[in-house]
Amino acid sequence: MTRHLLKMVWNRKRVNFLIILEIFVSFLVLFGVVVSTVYLSDNYRQPLGFSYQNVWNVNVQQPGRDQSPNDKTPAITLRQIMQSVHELEEVEAVTGIGHSPYSGSSWGSSVEMNGRKIQYGVNRAADNFKDVMGLQVVNGRWFSAEDDSANFEPIVITQRLAREAYGDEDPIGRRFGELPKADAAASLEPEKERRVVGVVAEFRQHGEFAGLENFHFYRFTYEKSPSHLLIKVRPGTTRAFEEKLSRKLRGVNKDWSYEIEPLVNMRENSFKLYLAPIIAAGLVAAFLMIMVGLGLTGVLWQNVTQRIKEIGLRRAKGATANDIHTQILGELFVITTFGLLLGVVIIVQLPLLEFMSFLSTKVYFYSIGISLALIYLLTLVCGLYPSRMATKVQPVEALRYE
């Protein structure tokens, strides 16, 4: 039966070639959208590592930041700001961070360890950051006052980074990367050697839809990074608190400028950035698929009308309506499979060429599966009407042509 179908398809290769090409291209387009959707939804289901509820972000900007690094005023002012914010009755806690979550700004770095290059996101976080944001320490400890006197740079890393850097070994107290070069003073990296003091379960600064990444914290010191404050407010605090907060901040230093935004809002905005392109691409792809579906229906319908003679002859020789139905759908199935095979062959090349290496194998195969199923479904739906039409062909119509 299959061999017969293959032969039928081959005999009409000119017409079928175009259909195969169309299915091949549709598959590629659909895969592009499906793989992005699967990737995002897979990311969304992974743990976030922190809690954003009732946390407000304050972006502190001081004009003319290029002042000499020995200038102690910014650090003093920042301490004052944090203290006076804490006095507000709505405020539970204030903590400092280099770049706030969901803000879109980031700091990435890489290190050579065990002969492998490991990439990670970096941030600076204050001693009380863990409690304010609900981070979960799984090994060692978070930063604390005992780091003040340390002769090394304490760091906290995520489980993912610990596994990549140290495998199954205990990372606590271990050195992280090489000693920085002597002339690194101008860069953002510290001058002292880095040692792991703790491991947290997870931290995904860019939010739920962002890809999973290794993460690495430096201790927030007022001298180095007075840029963002995170303020935990009591539940039920309304946005009217904002002006009060703003007054308070300006009261300490009116030359600095402050942008206040609840993390919940920043989260929604960052979601838009991830979802808008996918929604636009999804809409376009959906319309393309409708177009392809209609086109296929038209072509198949045309094929059936053209083959009335052949179908009539088969009916005359005793084929049942069901046989004809199976034949038409079977041919379509074979053609579709050709197109899809071609597509899969192309798509499987991508990870081999390290083109989409950030995708996990799971996401990759799920996406191929879903795209295959969708295309088969599409062709099946397109084939139903024309093949039903074919079953209605009467043997006598075949005779009329001879």
Partner 1 sequence: MLKNYLKVAFKVFLRRKFFTFISLFAISFTLLVLMVATSLVDHVIGPLSPENKLSRTLGVYFLSLGGENNQSNGLPGYGFLDRYARNLPGVEKMSIFEQVGYKDAYRNSEKISLYVKRTDGEFWQIHEFNFLAGGPFTSDDDKNVNFVAVINESTRKKFFDDQSVLAALGQTIEVDGQRFRVVGVVADVPILRAIPFADIWVPISTTSSASYRRDLQGSYQAALLARSRADFPAIKSEFASRLPNIEFPNPKEFNVARAGADTRFEAVARMFIGNGRETYPRTLLAILLGLALLFMVLPTVNLINLNVSRILERASEIGVRKAFGASSWTLVGQFVVENVLLTLIGGLIGLVLSVFVLRLVNQSGWIPYADFQLNYRIFLYGLALAIFFGLFSGVYPAWKMSRLNPVEALKGGTR
Residue 47 engages partner 1 in binding (rule: CB under 8 A): no
Say if residues 199 and 142 touch (Cβ distance below 8 Å): no
Residue 15 engages partner 1 in binding (rule: CB under 8 A): yes
For 211, the enclosing helix (H) or strand (E) is: none
For 291, the enclosing helix (H) or strand (E) is: helix 263-306
Which of 76, 137, 150, 284 is in the footprint of partner 1 by CB under 8 A?
284
Q: How far apart are CA 297 and CA 386, in angstroms?
A: 7
Q: How far apart are CA 95 and CA 111, in angstroms?
A: 28
Nearest distance from residue 116's CB to partner 1, in Å? 21
Nearest distance from residue 26's CB to partner 1, in Å? 6
From 58-66, 364-372, 373-381, 386-394, give the range in contact with partner 1 by CB under 8 A.
58-66
| CB-based contacts of 253, cutoff 8 Å, min separation 6 | 77, 80, 81
Nearest distance from residue 346's CB to partner 1, in Å? 13
Residue 134 engages partner 1 in binding (rule: CB under 8 A): no
Window 286 to 315, contacts with partner 1 (CB under 8 A): 287-288, 290-292, 294-295, 297-299, 301-303, 305-306
Total Cβ atoms within 10 A of residue 8: 17
Nearest distance from residue 159's CB to partner 1, in Å? 31
Residue 397 engages partner 1 in binding (rule: CB under 8 A): no
Window 243 to 272, contacts with partner 1 (CB under 8 A): 243, 246, 250, 254-255, 257-260
Nearest distance from residue 177's CB to partner 1, in Å? 15
Residue 107 engages partner 1 in binding (rule: CB under 8 A): no
Nearer CB in complex with partner 1: 137/276: 276
| CB-based contacts of 367, cutoff 8 Å, min separation 6 | 31, 34, 35, 38, 39
Say if residues 19 and 335 touch (Cβ distance below 8 Å): yes
Nearest distance from residue 298's CB to partner 1, in Å? 5
Residue 282 engages partner 1 in binding (rule: CB under 8 A): no
* Residue among 78, 81, 74 at smallest CA distance from 249: 81
Quick note: the x/- pattern for partner 1 over 166-205, rule CB under 8 A, is ---------------x-xx-xx------------------
Total Cβ atoms within 10 A of residue 212: 15
Residue 145 engages partner 1 in binding (rule: CB under 8 A): no
Residue 67 engages partner 1 in binding (rule: CB under 8 A): yes
Burial of 63 by CB count in 10 Å (0-12 exposed, 13-18 middle, 19+ buried)?
Answer: exposed
Q: How far apart are CA 69 and CA 74, in angstroms?
A: 10
Number of residues that bind partner 1 (CB under 8 A): 47
